[in-house]
A and B are shown apart, each in its own frame.
Chain A
Amino acid sequence: MNPTSPILSARGVVKRFGTLTALDGVSLEIAAGEFFGLLGPNGAGKSTFMSLIAGLRQPDEGSLTIASGGFPSGSTAARQALGLVPQHIALYMELSAERNLRIFGELYGLRGAALKERVGHALETVQLADRRHDVVKTFSGGMQRRLNLAAALLHQPKVLLCDEPTVGVDPQSRNAIFDFLQELNRRGLTIIYSTHYMEEATRLCSRIGIIDHGRILGLGTLDELLARLPFEEEVRFPSTPQTQALSAELTSNGDVATVDGVHRFRPRAGYPMSSFYKLTEEHGLPPRLFTSQRPTLEALFLELTGRTIRE
């Protein structure tokens, strides 16, 4: 899918920190209404790219424009168009939920009745209206995360930047955040979501950019990305002395990679899987050792980088 009306446009963006090139010519466009995922391991350049979009830093080379007006990142108009959900709970813990929201709303120029209305609505949306006067540090982790999200939505941004917003969050709260974000996206809000969890990108994002070492390695919908894999199925089995002979024999019929003590066999096109299972019988290996998987983003990342996303 090629975005027709980009709400974010990056062209040849380079960002260096001393001798380290954190972003190396990143170019992409994100359309209005997309739920865009930026997927990559820690240190890949996700947070740097998010910080450039948010205007916290300026690119050394290239251009980055926000919203249909093409405002340069960091400009007042661009900042007004964006809402940032930082990785940390970026709230004043000693103050009440309402006081926090009022402060962040005022920073975006909201005043008086409009501010009151937006704060009230935001608290209702994240189901914290009844705790509005409570001090944030008394909230559970999940409640703090919800308020962290609400603080980014007060000024009704066109684009919501979520920088790994579920790090350290329990599964229940994570699901609640996912549901909330998907609802926001359904209402038309563009979301740019950085993560190193492939399942999050798979579940949430309509389009995904895979980033590593500051470069975009893959860009497209999930299906488009997975179609780049030269196999349709992957079989995994443990790497043990008993499976070594099978592993060696399979190399003539496809690729065999070993990751974390697990062999991953990706048959070449046209190789019948019945031949594979016949071979396992010949080696006296029980079927329970083998699991078959459809191509995943993890497999794609391995294909693109030669390593897993967690390395």
Chain B
Amino acid sequence: MNPILVLLRKDFAILLKDKVSIMITFAVPFAMIYLFGLIFGVNSTDSGPTGIPFAVVNQSDNPAAAKLVEALKAEKTFRVITDFTTDGKAMRPLAEEDIAPLMKADRFRFALVIPRDLVRTEAIGLHLKTYSNPRNEIESQIVNGILQRTLFTNVPELLGQSLQERARHTIGSARLDQFNSAIASAIARQFGGNEEAIRARISNGNFGFGAAGAAAPGSGVSSQGASDVLSNIVKIDNVQVVGKDVKSPTATLLVGGWAIQFLLFAVTASATALFREKEHGIFQRVLSAPVSRSDILWSKFLYGICLGLIQLMALFAAGQVLYKIDVASHLPLLAVVCVFASAACTSFGMLIAAISPTPESARGLSTFVIMLMSAIGGAWFPVSFMPEFIQKLSRLTLVFWSMEGFSQVLWAHASFTELLPTLGYLTLITSLVMAVAVWRFRKGRIFD
């Protein structure tokens, strides 16, 4: 046989024996392609983010306001929250004063208040109020865009009502009714229809924008055109509840995501050094001294935490220098989060070392899991961009909770007490993962 073919067959034979290479060659990119496909809605007629918690307080008695709330509820992007469970477990309608504290507690990051003066008399246009925690810029833009689209495609009569109210305020009710009747009569004469019904529709603010809006769903283009025109006459008062003082919001979030991803790589590499120490017979020597296996594992765990703390703090310091992230003002709490995040990352690295039979398989498995966990944990994209089942999965990842902790400190300027739940989740993850790792180390042969 041709030597080239012999050598070619040899390479394939070696590849087939190397499960790690096969995994990195096929499984990792496949998982990434699948995940990206889900995020970008490939092969989906229903793409885009879903289930973003969105609080709505309706203070208006205008029927169109209720219609707007219903339209928002029908929008898959949002999970509309209108009720609030008190500490006494009683359910009551959400009030405007509830929004800021709940937003600070990260129960939701966007809220809409439909005020009593939704349709203003002193000016043309609508009045709405939004509250936001624009932790993620892309997510904020999407939420605003979908809110506008929902507004103008589903309740265009609000704008008509606004014009009617403005006219009533300026020329009085009697003259406005006279004007509406004249317009209705002219329309009925020219285009047919019931004059009284047309007059009632005009009085209710329905000038036929609804036709343009009604054609919009699915087409996108005319809706967008209408939105562009109409958005100029909607007055939205935005209250940024969280992150007002953050100088570099994008960098503040970006650095945390990438830092935690590379910390995972670093501590996993450190944990897999256990294999090298085993191969060199160092464990034999160390364990023949008055040293226990637990001593070795705890030393590795503490080393991982120290390494993680140093790496994370160095990256955040670089973020301060490069992007003006305000690290210095939050140093103590940031260090606390870094310690807990590092502990979680280290436990993950030790689990990888404990369940892998060889260093090669540990490297392959860690690459796969770290990339997957970073993607679904929100290090690459906002979690809200992903399907809801992945959003639920993301809350099981240490990446999600580590980033949550960084955001709470650097973005929301949370206090230690406010950080406790996040630290608790990280501790829970660390404890569970370490317990499995230690159990596997005891069952495994790495110390033999």
Residues of A within 8 A of B (CB): 51, 54-57, 76, 79-80, 82-84, 86-93, 104, 107-109, 151-152, 161
B residues engaging A (CB < 8 A)?
Answer: 279-282, 284-291, 447-448
By beta carbon, the residue of chain B nearest A86 is: B281
**How many residue pairs between the two chains, A and B, have CB atoms under 8 Å in the bound complex?**
53
B290 near A54 (CB under 8 angstroms)? no
Q: A56-B448, A89-B280, A90-B285 are in contact. List 9 more A-B contacts (CB 8 A).
A: A56-B284, A57-B448, A76-B290, A79-B289, A83-B288, A84-B285, A90-B280, A104-B285, A107-B290
Q: How far is the CA of A77 from the CA of B291 in the complex (A)?
A: 12
**Chain A residues, CB < 8 A from B286:** 107
| B contact residues around A79 at 8 Å (CB) | 288-290
Contact present for A84 and B288 (CB under 8 Å): yes
State how many angstroms separate the Cβ of B158 from the closest Cβ of chain A.
Answer: 71
Bound CA span A92–B287, Å = 15
Collect the chain B residues with CB atoms within 8 Å of residue A107's CB: 286, 289-291
Set of chain B residues within 8 Å of A104, measured between Cβ atoms: 285, 289
Residues of B within 8 A of A84 (CB): 284-285, 288
A83-B281 Cα distance, complex, nearest whole Å: 14
CA distance in complex: A186, B448 (Å): 33
CA distance A104 to B447 in the complex (A): 18
Residues in A whose Cβ lies below 8 Å from that of B288: 54-56, 79, 82-84, 161
Closest A-B pairs by Cβ, 5 of them: A88-B281, A90-B281, A86-B281, A84-B288, A90-B285
Q: Which of B282, B285, B290, B447 contacts A109 (CB 8 A)?
A: B290
Residues on the A chain within 8 Å of B287, using CB: 54-56
* Cβ contact within 8 Å between A151 and B285: yes
Minimum CB–CB distance from A93 to chain B (whole Å) comes to 8
A164 to B186, CA, bound (A): 110
Residues of A within 8 A of B447 (CB): 56
A89 to B277, CA, bound (A): 11
B289→A90 contact, CB < 8 A: no
Please name all residues of chain B whose beta carbon is closer than 8 Å to the beta carbon of A54 when the two chains form the complex. 284, 287-288
Q: Which of B281, B285, B286, B289 has the most CB of A within 10 A?
A: B289
Min C-beta distance of B116 to chain A, whole Å: 72
Complex: chain B residue closest to A83, CB-CB: B288
Which single residue of chain B is at the shortest CB-CB distance from A79?
A: B290
- A-B contacts, 28 of them at CB < 8 A, read A51-B284, A54-B284, A54-B287, A56-B287, A56-B288, A56-B447, A79-B289, A83-B288, A86-B281, A86-B284, A86-B285, A87-B281, A88-B280, A88-B284, A89-B280, A89-B281, A90-B280, A90-B281, A91-B282, A93-B280, A104-B285, A104-B289, A107-B286, A107-B289, A107-B291, A109-B290, A151-B285, A152-B285
Q: How far is the CB of B303 from chain A (nearest CB, A)?
A: 14
Q: Within 8 Å CB of A57, what residues of B? A: 448
B380 to chain A, nearest CB (A): 34
A89–B280 Cα distance when bound, in Å, is 6
Q: In the complex the two chains form, what is the Cα distance from A102 to B308 in whole Å?
A: 26
Please, how many angstroms separate the alpha-carbon atoms of A106 and B111 in the complex? 61
Q: State how many angstroms separate the Cβ of A216 from the closest Cβ of chain B.
A: 22
CB distance from A100 to the nearest CB of B (A): 10
Q: Which residue, B285, B290, B447, has most C-beta atoms of chain A within 10 A? A: B285
CA distance A51 to B124 in the complex (A): 89
Complex Cα–Cα for A255 and B156 (A): 112
Distance (Å) between the CB of B315 and the closest chain A CB? 25
